[in-house]
Structure 1
Amino acid sequence: MRAVFTLTSPESKRLLGKAVSQLPEVKKALKEGKIIIGNGTTNAYVAEELLGIQVEKAKYTVGIVSQGVQCVTPAEDRIPSFVLINGEVSKEDWLKVLDEFSGEDVFIKGANAVDHEGNAGVFMSNPAGGTIGKAIGTLTARGSHLIIPVGLEKMVPSVKLAAMAAGIKKFDYSLGQKVGLMPLMYGKVITELEALNLLTGVKAVCLGCGGVGGSEGAVTLAVEGSQQEVEETMKLVKEIKGEKNIPALKQKCKCDQPCDRWN
């Protein structure tokens, strides 16, 4: 059987949150291990699904694209990254916990780009690489799990080309924060396609992206599977339909440099 439907950006984020919470490696680490949920709006949905709480998504951010510019949430306005040890929220600094990671522990990080080869890319406005720059060496050296939930609205032709074109010190002009882009060939990328397959067993294909009237960033998907799989998929989609858009984040630039600058 086959079905077709459209998910808005927040609906996709809810779907990704549900899928990540059901990954075997995440469930194992939740029971007996460590999980770090990096800041980001998609990861706020992951945290909600894992912890059964409501997260103020506008504050669970560091770097953010809002109001048409690249910006950074002031440190005093942020909710710190959630750190889970054996299923309990810990107040330990995530860097300290990361230093104790084993190969079975899990780091969850959203992305700003994904390509058809399954590579993901993460913006960096911090000249030292920010969150992903601090984490990637430890994760790859130890073989820890890196989970990357990212919606298909962020599809780009090539993460490699994007990374080569980006760089804080490369740009002469900028509207918004200058950024580099970290290419991630390591880790498990979870888009809507993988999420649906994980949750209901269907094979999903993206037919198109975009829309208007609140459907900007939406993805239209076709799914195929058994009658039970497709019916379970439609039930799931109906459950997440109506997920509200995150309000436009009116970030106040508190860094030393204005976001509109020429050098």
Structure 2
Amino acid sequence: MYSERAFVVLTPYESRRLIAKAIVRLPSVEEALQNGWIVVATGSTTCYVAEELLGQPMVKENFISGHITLGETWSTLDNPDFIFPIVLHKGIRQDIHAKQALEKFSAKDVFIKGANAVDNNYHAAIFMANDEGGTIGSSLGTLYARGAQLVMPVGLEKMIPSVEEAVKHTGNKSYRYSTGSPAGLMPIVQATVVTEIQALSAMFDVQVYHVGSGGIAGSEGAVVLVIEGKESNVTQAFEFVQSLKGEKNLLRPHGTPKQ
């Protein structure tokens, strides 16, 4: 039985910051920072994880490839300032391609890749516009074969009824019409999925419930959460959420047409 409750709202960008701060505290990530390899794939959530790991701000829009904006799916492959996946070895950034780092991966190393969908069983999935599966298509075999750690940050704004069902109805060559770049959907198993719920639960030893979503005037995609637990823990969690307020929205990446 709970002893205290808090009712909080997080915009999608505040959620991204929360999830990123939780991910860098995961035992698997802390271990890899000290003794192994970490690869952070590009994405609109992983850019926040990259900032937290590097300990410095970056132009996050340059760390985004495929994305949804202006009501369509887009790719930003023509961005001259594009930042490629970030590779760390024992906490030090390496000037090598992610594929080179994957060749060195062991079971204790960590690959961080955002998701485009998550269901209420915390099964996650990733869009694939590239015919060969893009980043996840070229990495997943190595990660599974070696038993490496796959960490997937994904906000509850991306919740769908069922990943299993959604996969049955996708495929980038299967549509007659498409608003933007058509994509298939890859379901992911054996991943550590981190939403706002897992983030707050792990950081503050509380129970978290997703009770509402949506908003207007900049709060589109916001999630409403109830936090329950010991008074001191709920207070800390609430104060932490308040500290995230004001996180700036991401802008359209270079290469996305203006409205």
TM range (shorter): over 0.9
Taking the TM superposition and a 5 Å limit, the aligned residue runs for 1:182-193 are: 182-193=186-197
Give 1:235 deviation, angstroms.
1.3
8 A contact 2:64–2:253 mirrored in 1: no
The list of structure 1 runs, each at least 4 consecutive aligned residues, that deviate by more than 3 angstroms after superposition, is 248-253
8 A contact 2:204–2:236 mirrored in 1: yes
Q: Which residue does the alignment assign to 2:219? A: 215
8 A contact 1:71–1:251 mirrored in 2: no
Residue of structure 1 aligned with 2:46, choices 32, 43, 47: 43
Point out where structure 2 has 5 or more consecutive residues left out of the alignment.
Answer: none
Q: Which residue does the alignment assign to 2:88? A: 84
Q: Which residue does the alignment assign to 2:6? A: 3
Give 1:248 deviation, angstroms.
3.4
Residue 113 of structure 1 pairs with residue 117 of structure 2: yes
Give 1:37 deviation, angstroms.
0.3
Residue 239 of structure 1 pairs with residue 246 of structure 2: no
Q: Judge which range, 8-17 or 237-246, deviates more.
A: 237-246
Deviation string 1:73-116 (CA, Å, 9 cap, x unpaired) is: 12534111110001000001110110110000000000000001
Give 1:163 deviation, angstroms.
1.3
Taking the TM superposition and a 5 Å limit, the aligned residue runs for 1:166-177 are: 166-177=170-181
Q: Judge which range, 74-83 or 218-227, deviates more.
A: 74-83
Give 1:202 deviation, angstroms.
0.9
Point out where structure 1 has 5 or more consecutive residues left out of the alignment.
Answer: 254-263
8 A contact 2:171–2:184 mirrored in 1: yes
For residues 115 and 240 of structure 1, what CA distance do their matches in structure 2 show? 25
Deviation string 1:128-165 (CA, Å, 9 cap, x unpaired) is: 00000011111111110000000000000111111111
Give 1:249 deviation, angstroms.
3.8
8 A contact 1:122–1:181 mirrored in 2: yes
Q: Which residue does the alignment assign to 1:21? A: 24
8 A contact 1:11–1:240 mirrored in 2: yes
How many residues align? The count is: 253
After TM superposition, the score normalised by the length of structure 2 is 0.95
Taking the TM superposition and a 5 Å limit, the aligned residue runs for 1:121-140 are: 121-140=125-144
After TM superposition, the score normalised by the length of structure 1 is 0.94
